Amino acid sequence: MSVSSTVKFLSPEEIAARKVGEAAQLKFADPAFVFRDRALRLRQLAAGHPMRDFLVFMADVADAQHTVLAAPRTVKLPTQDFLAEAARAGTPALEFPRWSLDEAWREDLQDLLAALAARVGQGAAREVITGLQSAGASHLDQQAERLLSGIMLGLDLAAAPLIGAALQVYWARLVHRTQAAFPDLAFGPIDNARVCPCCGGQPVASVARIGGDDAGSRYLHCSLCQTGWHMVRIKCAHCESTKDISYQELEPAEGAEQPTYHVPKGAVRAECCGECGHYLKIVDMAKDAHVDPVADDLASVALDLLVSETGALRHGLNYLLLWGEPAEDALEHQPAGAT
């Protein structure tokens, strides 16, 4: 694939047509803001929330992710041939295990743990941090590989959110640097619209965006590398059906003095599919400009419980909150947070 192959001459009519509401296929995360903004959102949501301590801990995790991502780190990048081969095959270029783990992810983990240890007092979270700090490289790699492959058997559920947080930093940096090194050919269209075109990750939630050509466009947000990829609205992210899509959201309990989870109406909803029975949350920036797909997913666990009472199954993945095994069993399993 050469750069010139992507150049296409457009007629004036085509150019005019493109100006109206043409959304970019990919929305890359800005390393300077992605985890910092998430930490801010988590602290905002934690105020008065029944899961306050959990959300504050996750804000500390996001702050630590921001610190680690901002620090200098040398990582291996893919070659042009490696990227071109994926483009020809229509597969995500940096998907595990096509892209294998290298030791830089463990450096990210150890720096993340050190940053967190400075904030966390004694307790269960401290024990998890200490345990990971003294764990051997092969154990850590094995846990990371299980997490990336969706294998819950043998996965340490208490440690998984921290391992996931380190993998997010590693992959966010990897995708950012790869895109910077090969801006015209790094990440093209792939055959499977359900996974991240960069890393093959599952979505954590959808984001309805605001501003310019993006206004109203829906992006699935990658649970791993934090890239957004475009999908038309009112479409199931699990089976891609456009029939029988409905939305559910939390309403303040009648008579309650204060809602326990207060975001503007319509800001966080579950997009439910009657065809396959799955749902994925969608956060709407037009209703609340500060929504974050990961933070708002964590803060709206009550919505998962409400929707799963109807028999709906959760689609997608949030590394900071794993729903036991398998994700379909959300009703029976409490989230395994590292509090």
User: Could you list the residues that contact Zn ion (CB under 5 A)?
Assistant: 196, 198-199, 201, 222, 224-225, 227, 236, 238-239, 241, 273, 275-276
Least distance between Zn ion and beta carbon 219 (Å): 12
* Omega of the bond leading into 189 within 30 degrees of 0 (cis): no
Pairing mode, strands 228-230 and 245-248: unpaired
**Cα–Cα dist 170/102, whole Å:** 10
Q: Which is nearer to Zn ion, 273 or 291 (CB)?
A: 273
User: Could you tell me what percentage of the chain is helix, strand and coil, using 3-state DSSP and rounding each to the nearest 5?
Assistant: 40, 10, 50
Least distance between Zn ion and beta carbon 19 (Å): 29
Least distance between Zn ion and beta carbon 126 (Å): 31
Least distance between Zn ion and beta carbon 197 (Å): 8
**Cα–Cα dist 296/282, whole Å:** 9
**Cα–Cα dist 200/224, whole Å:** 9
Helical (H) or strand (E) element with 118: none
Q: Which is nearer to Zn ion, 46 or 313 (CB)?
A: 313
Least distance between Zn ion and beta carbon 260 (Å): 30
Q: Which is nearer to Zn ion, 240 or 249 (CB)?
A: 240
Amino acid at 310: T
Q: Which is nearer to Zn ion, 201 or 337 (CB)?
A: 201
The CA-to-CA distance between both ends of the chain, in Å, stands at 48
Q: Which is nearer to Zn ion, 27 or 49 (CB)?
A: 27
**Cα–Cα dist 101/7, whole Å:** 34
Closest CA to 62 of 30, 40, 86: 40
Least distance between Zn ion and beta carbon 94 (Å): 8
Handedness of CA 333, 335, 337, 339 (dihedral sign): negative
Q: Which is nearer to Zn ion, 66 or 278 (CB)?
A: 278
Closest CA to 280 of 262, 307, 302: 307
Closest CA to 102 of 133, 140, 130: 140
Q: Which is nearer to Zn ion, 171 or 323 (CB)?
A: 171
Q: Which is nearer to Zn ion, 197 or 335 (CB)?
A: 197
Question: What separation in angstroms does the CA of 209 have from each of 80, 91, 241?
Answer: 32, 26, 22
**Cα–Cα dist 263/10, whole Å:** 43
Q: Where are the alpha helices (DSSP H) in 26-100?
A: 34-46, 52-70, 80-89
Q: Which is nearer to Zn ion, 59 or 195 (CB)?
A: 195
Residue pair 338/129 in contact by the 8 Å Cβ criterion: no
